[in-house]
Amino acid sequence: MQTVALIDYGAGNIPSAQRALEVAVERSGLSCGLIVTDSPEKIAAADRVVIPGVGHFKDCREAMFGVSGLVEALEDSIHKKGRPVLGICVGMQLMADLGLEDGETPGFGWIPGKVEHIPTDPGLPIPHMGWNELVVRTAHPVLEGIQTGNHAYFVHSFHMHCANPSDLQVEVDYGGHITAAIGRDNVFGTQFHPELSQETGLRLLTNWIKWNP
């Protein structure tokens, strides 16, 4: 049985993410156990890891580094063991090189790019909040069955600008192009909240659980 670790570092929408992952595990038909933890030992031993995130880039980064050994366990899981990792919202943004919210804050540097204020029309409200149509840019196993025109739920004022266009998987139009999902090697991230995106979100989570990069 494989283990999926949902990291609880005090800055994520844990109850909703947990419920959605439980449904996705059941849909996958695989033998999986879901744990909610901040234990570096359990994260290092898990077969898959989910990084949630709500709030500011800097605050979430500090919360992650505030748990001794957590980031090191993640780095080992991703780079040495090649385990699939999913980042959600700010959990995805932390994968970038740099965050520009509240000054400059280093990210984890897993996917080259910067987290910048979303480019938008002055007439559109910030944060970008609510449902928006996805525009799928790249075929990816985690996006199987998800098409341009499907809707997902967003709550954010910043997004990731990928240095390499090939890492951009999905975007949306909100007075400009906004990154909605990124992916490289065994790392995948969504700016939208799959746990709040009904069928589209559950399909993505199920695909991710079945994904073998």
Residues marked active site are found at 89, 193, 195
CA dihedral 49, 169, 174, 93 (to 10 degrees): 30
Token match 């909100």: residue? 174
Angle CA(41)–CA(45)–CA(48) in degrees, nearest 5? Answer: 120
Strands 113-117 and 98-99: parallel
CA dihedral 133, 137, 139, 142 (to 10 degrees): -50
Cβ atoms of 56 and 99 within 8 Å: the answer is: no
Alpha-carbon distance of 137 to 96, in angstroms, equals 19
Alpha-carbon distance of 161 to 72, in angstroms, equals 25
Cβ atoms of 73 and 108 within 8 Å: the answer is: no
DSSP alpha helix (H) spans, 119-197: none
